[in-house]
Amino acid sequence: MDQHSPTPSPSPGSAGVSEAGARRAAAASAIGSLVEWYDFALYGAAAALVFNQFFFHADDPAAGLLAAFATFAVGYFARPFGGIVFGHLGDKIGRKPVMMITLTLMGISTALIGLLPSYDAIGFLAPALLVLLRILQGLGAGAEYAGAIVLSSESAPPTKRGFYASWSGAGVWIGSALGLLTFQLMLVLTGDQFTVWGWRIPFLLSLVMLAVSLFIRNRVNETKHFEKVVGEGEVQRIPLFTLFKTEKRRLAVALGSNFMLSGFSYIPQVWALSYLTNNIGLAAALGLATNAIVLLSGAAFMPLFGRIGDRIGRRKLFLFGTGFGIIWAFPMFMLIDTRQPVIIILALAVCFVGAVATCYAAQAAFLTELFPPAIRYSGVAFAREVSGALLGGTAPLIATAFFAATGHWYLVAIFMTVNAIIAMVAVYFSKYFRSDADQGDDTHFDADTTGSIRVVESRGQRVAKAAAR
């Protein structure tokens, strides 16, 4: 904070918050996000490189790729249901127990995917079982990241909320990179046997990561925010109904803001891998390595951007990221088409650092501060997962269809730009009501001032009364 900024009065929500507890909660949240996105990155890479032939026997390679990416989308369609169910439980029984459940569901379903027989062995039952496990994976993932940023934000000192919440976003990309690097390692080690059995090993390793993550997460305490909600009798009978009744505008902003982290980001993160290997001519191993480097470059900047968000406000940081995304989509593809590996990596890394990482770091605390504690888990999970289902799961599918129809990437770049514009508009209009976004027992960063914070009035009682009317 600026040395001339006013010193905030301690908020009720900051009572009992310690740096050690904040670090422990942030680490537990980050490791869960790492496991979640290790699982999802494996599936995305396998869908692009293996599943189109292993589970789908299509004569046309493009048709097989579309079928594989369709199962990728199924997981995202399941996520809103997981977000609704587990978000409800997170606001009813607590953040910690729900996050233990979601982590277990994801890890086990991912490992079981690694045990599935092929289409040659059991016919149509193979893709049917793949879809079923993908749905279970999506249900568990539907509230995992939302729970991670809620837990880490609520456990952090108010002046460091953006920093600690950003750890979960870094965990997302580290997990994604780890999944891709593990996939690449198996590709190199197993050679011709990779498409037969080598691809299974990274999926089975998810069980080891699950055990470690559960051990770490079990040592985290429930947040003071949730305990206060319970102690004051503010637990809502159906939190999602309260959300729809009292917080429509905030929900609209949250939904719109996620267009950047779903529709936009999944083009360079997922679809670009198939473009690099199938159209640019990069070897599969080099394509995976490129993607992993890009993800790690984004993760490296997340804590820094989290700190910047603590100083200048989440909204300003978010708007910068969306603006950068708008101007970078077309140059990114132009640089990719040079077919020079170093230039390709730089083009994608700049996109991730300048556009996606800034928005991801801003969004963690931005969404948490947007909703009151009694309906916070439901609000964050619903907003992220509904937009994620509509865009994150379908973005590679849409991009594949656009490219198949035109033979060029320009429609894909337009798609990215439109998503960035929608997110920018949503975040921009948050200023018209964010100044009265009372956060119950939170200290809230003013969205439009630099370095200054203020304590907002408790609104939990008013939310409960509004829900009762």
pLDDT tens digits, 132-145:
898 898 888 888 88
Q: Give pLDDT, residue 304.
A: 95
Structure tokens at 148: 């991670």
Structure tokens at 391: 């865009």
Residue 1 lies in a domain: no
Average pLDDT on 162-167 reads 93
What DSSP designation does 443 have? E
pLDDT at 416 over 50: yes
Residue 450 lies in a domain: yes
Residue 134 lies in a domain: yes
* % residues pLDDT > 70 (the chain): 85
* % residues pLDDT > 90 (the chain): 37
pTM of the full predicted structure?
A: 0.80
pLDDT at 17 over 50: yes
Structure tokens at 79: 């996520």
Average pLDDT on 309-334 reads 95
Structure tokens at 184: 């690449």
One-letter amino acid at 111 equals A
Q: Give pLDDT, residue 143.
A: 84
Question: How many structural domains compose the chain?
Answer: 1
- Give the domain CATH number at 106: 1.20.1250.20
For 455, the 3-state DSSP assignment is: strand
Q: Give pLDDT, residue 452.
A: 32
Q: How many CB atoms lie within 10 A of CB 211?
A: 10
Residue 183 lies in a domain: yes
Question: Could you tell me the pLDDT band of residue 6, with boundaries at 50, 70 and 90?
Answer: very low
Contact by Cβ (8 Å): 261, 359:
yes
Residue 231 lies in a domain: no
**How does the average pLDDT of the chain come out, rounded?**
82
* Residues whose CB is less than 8 angstroms from the CB of residue 60 and which lie 6 or more positions away in sequence, other chains included: none
pLDDT at 371 over 80: yes
Residue 232 lies in a domain: no
Q: Give pLDDT, residue 40.
A: 78
pLDDT at 123 over 90: no
Higher pLDDT among residues 83 and 41, named by residue: 83
Nearest to 118 by CA among 131, 130, 136, 110: 130
pLDDT tens string 348-367: 999 999 999 999 999 999 99
Residue 154 lies in a domain: yes
Higher pLDDT among residues 204 and 18, named by residue: 204
Question: Could you tell me the pLDDT band of residue 433, with boundaries at 50, 70 and 90?
Answer: low
> Where is 294: in which H helix or E strand?
helix 284-312
Question: Could you tell me the pLDDT band of residue 376, with boundaries at 50, 70 and 90?
Answer: very high
Whole-number Cα distances in Å, 185 to 179, 181, 348, 377: 10, 6, 22, 37
Residue 230 lies in a domain: no
Q: Give pLDDT, residue 170.
A: 92
Structural domain span for residue 193: 18-221+237-468
Contact by Cβ (8 Å): 282, 276:
yes
